Amino acid sequence: MRADLLSRAVGGIVLTTMVLGVSFVGRPALAAGFDYCTVGQKTSLFVVDRTTRFDRTDQDILVAAADSFFRNQDPGERVIVAAVSGAYTDIRLVLNECRPGCPETNILSQLLSTCRPVIARGDYLSFERRFIASLLSLLKQDEEASASDLFRSVAEATRLIASNGYKPLRQMVLYSDLLEASSVLPQGQIRRMAPTDVLRRLERDGIDASLRGATVKVVGFGRDDGPTRPALAQDVRRRVEETWRQWLTKSGGQEVQVGLR
C-alpha cells in the first residue's frame, strides 16, 4: 500500500479525494464474473480499539501497522477491518472483502480462467482505496468510551470468522492499549492483578478467542489512557503485557508479539 498516501490522508489533505475515489472508482469483489473469494485460502483480521481517543502518535503507529498488514495478503484472501468500542456487542466491520488478484497458474490454466490480470489489477487499486477509506473513517472519529470490554471484543471478532464460514484466520493485528475496563475486570483491575488471576477469571467466564494457528501482533501498547498519555509504569506494563500474551497464546495464537509499534 502507498504509505505516503495514507499518511497524508491522516493529515486530512486527501480525505475528500479518497472518499470520492471510493464512491466512483470502486469495483465490487465480484468483477467480470470472477469471485476473488473462491481462490483465497485464508483470512486476515485487523482489529482497531476505539475506546481511547487517538492522538498523533496513535495515528502514526496505526498507519504503519496498517501498511504492513495490507502488504501481507495473497490473492483472494479475505481482509476484515473491525472497530471495537465499549461493549463487545458494538463491534463494527468497516471492511470485509477478498483481496483482488488472480492465482498463479500455468499458461493453459490462465487461458481457461475467467480471472483477467488486467481487470484484477484495477480491482486491487480500488480495493486499496476502500481499505484506506476504512481507516480514515476510524482515525477521523472523535470517539472515546468509558468502558473497554477488550477481551470479549477480540474473542467475538475472531468467532465471526468461523460463524460466517470464512477461510481460517492466518493473521490478526490488534491496535490497542490493552487496558481493559469492563464488568469482567472493572476499575483498572487488569493493572493490579497477577496474570494468572486474570486468566482464571477469563476462563471462568468462558472468554477465549479463536486464533488457532494464526500469527498475532499487538501494536499501540505501552501508553496510559490518561489525557496526556504517559508511559505505563513498568510494573503495570509487565503485568498487562504478560496477561495478554498468555491469553492470546492460550487461544491458539502463534508468534505473539506485544508492543508499541
Q: Which pLDDT score, from 0 to 100, does residue 33 have?
A: 62
Contacts of 113 (CB under 8 A, 6+ apart): 34, 102, 105
Could you tell me the three cell numbers for 62?
496505526
Cell numbers standing for residue 233: 509504569
Residue 173 in this model has a pLDDT that exceeds 80: yes
CA distance 50 to 175: 9
Separation CA 193–CA 208 (nearest Å): 18
β-bridge partners, 48: 83, 175
Lowest mean pLDDT among 29-38, 88-97, 237-246: 29-38
Average pLDDT, the chain: 83
- Does position 11 have pLDDT exceeding 70, yes or no? no
Q: What percentage of the chain exceeds 70 in pLDDT?
A: 81
pLDDT exceeds 80 at position 145: no
pLDDT for 144 equals: 65
pLDDT tens column, 109-132: 455 466 878 888 899 999 999 999
Residue 207 confidence (pLDDT): 96
Whether residue 3 has pLDDT greater than 90: no
3 state DSSP class of 256: strand
CB 23 within 8 A of CB 31: no
List of residues 6+ apart from 60 with CB closer than 8 A: 10
* Residue 229 and residue 223 in contact, taking contact as beta carbons nearer than 8 Å: yes
Residue-wise pLDDT tens digits, 48-65: 998 877 888 988 999 999
pLDDT of residue 212: 95
Q: Cβ contacts of residue 4 below 8 Å, gap of 6+?
A: none
Question: 81-106: per-residue pLDDT in tens?
Answer: 999 987 888 899 999 999 999 877 65
CA distances from 192 to 14, 75, 86, 174, 197 (A): 43, 44, 21, 23, 10
Domains of the chain and CATH, by start: 3-258 (3.40.50)
